[in-house]
Amino acid sequence: MTALRIVGPATALRGEVSVPGDKSISHRSVILGALAKGKTKISGFLAAADCRKTAQSLVAMGVKIDNLGQDDMVVHGVGLRGLCDSGEVLDLGNSGTGMRLLMGVLAGQNFTTTLTGDESLRRRPIDRIAIPLAQMGIKVTGQGERCTPPVTIYGGQPQAITYHTPMASAQVKSAVLLAGLYADGTTTVIEPGPSRDHTERMLAAFGAEITLDELQVSVVGSPELRGQEIVVPGDFSSAAFLLTAGLLAPDSQVTVRNVLLNPTRTGLLDILQRMGAEVEVANRRQVGGEERGDITASTSELVATEVGGDEIPRTLDEVPILALLATQAEGQTVIRDAAELRVKESDRLATTTKMLRAFGAQVEEQPDGLVITGPTRLHGATVNSYGDHRIAMTAAIAGLIVAGETVVEDTACIDTSFPGFIDLVGRLGGEISPNEAHND
């Protein structure tokens, strides 16, 4: 177990930094690069555990990748049907995105593959992917009623379908669209609300025929995907932790450069504006079909707000850090329609509640959300991450803004999404160090 020690409160956090590449785009870039013909050059790839697992699984199926797992990689594509049977169970570690997207790809192969993961991933349901794949004629088996991993995909010839997703989910949508690449005809996904659109943007860039109509997206089967040059922007979800430190620590101003500004991902910016946060976005520009820019956050007095509905899919990964912000906002913040958080790396509604209560926050857990009353004077605490990278980083940022010592246990998980997190906090003036007494 790896533990971190933070002694707060920090003041005058200042500086300009860049965060590692976007996790969602990194997964998709290496997968589509593998399925394309020719070379795909990826700059800014997130060289974190989750994305490396996806890349390593593709290598096991015969894809050559230069500089595997580094920031800059070259993927030598094998074409849609060029993957080969690895002859082994593929371990995706903690990568739920990698597993779900690869299930869509494996649906169209002429071999059978079993995917597994770590203890956390083996608790996460995969039925929401297995159900539409079954409608496409592809057999998928897993463990128990919710089809938890290990999960086996019996590849074959998917049938084109129109699928109405029961929830707005980029992973479900992406898996069906990727399987649709192998179908005869047009595969359509219709969602009840907006979700991340990186897959359809990138498929179009690689040469697939994509049609968009509000909440409906379609792909025509058997395209010839062509290798591309991809420059991955900084991960907005990672930037949110550093921006929060800038908002809550006294006399602070933090700028994160080259951050993804895709509107399906930046719900937190809209919420922060309602809360009265001093947040500015500058240098907006389009690169490779995705908008990016520089975000500056300055010490702010916040007011409570309500978050729910279509805003949740645009904010889902940021709910733990939003909850920390809400503890310092005047009034009662209500987060609803977020039951999806119960099947993440941890039950994030439960673990966020436990973690913030340990700091002295007033948090009520609801079936589909949280109610947080603020502002509350927090204090140092010893907390556990429950093996969840976003809980670990939220706790670390909380430790920076409270008085006294904070110890965050089980923090190796941070490397699954944000390698260099501690160093970047240090560059801004915050101090986070290993806590030897809690390290095994």
Which residues carry out catalysis?
Answer: 317
Question: How many CB atoms lie under 10 A from the CB of residue 258?
Answer: 20
Q: Are 230 and 43 in contact (CB under 8 A)?
A: yes
Q: Pairing between strand 90-91 and 112-116?
A: parallel
Cβ–Cβ < 8 Å for 95, 54: yes
For residue 168, what are its two tokens? 């707005």
- Asked whether 17 and 60 are in contact (CB, 8 A), the reply is no
Single out the residue of 379, 439, 387, 395 nearest to residue 415, CA to CA: 387
181 close to 206: Cβ distance less than 8 angstroms: no
Q: For the chain, how big is the Rg over CA atoms in Å?
A: 21
Q: Beta strand pairing status for 253-260 and 290-298?
A: antiparallel
Do residues 232 and 44 touch, judged by C-beta distance below 8 A? yes
What 3-state DSSP class applies to 20?
coil
d(CA 52, CA 73): 11
Q: Bridge-partner residues for 348, per DSSP?
A: none
Compute CA distances 247 → 19, 295, 388, 430, whole Å: 17, 12, 23, 14
Residue 177, amino acid = L
Beta strand pairing status for 210-213 and 90-91? unpaired
Residues 292, 368 contacting (CB under 8 angstroms): no
Phi first, then psi: give them for residue 357, nearest 5 degrees: -65, -35
Element (H, E) at 290: strand 290-298
Is 189 within 8 Å of 173 (Cβ atoms)? yes
Longest dimension (CA), the chain: 62
Contact 221, 185 (CB under 8 A): yes
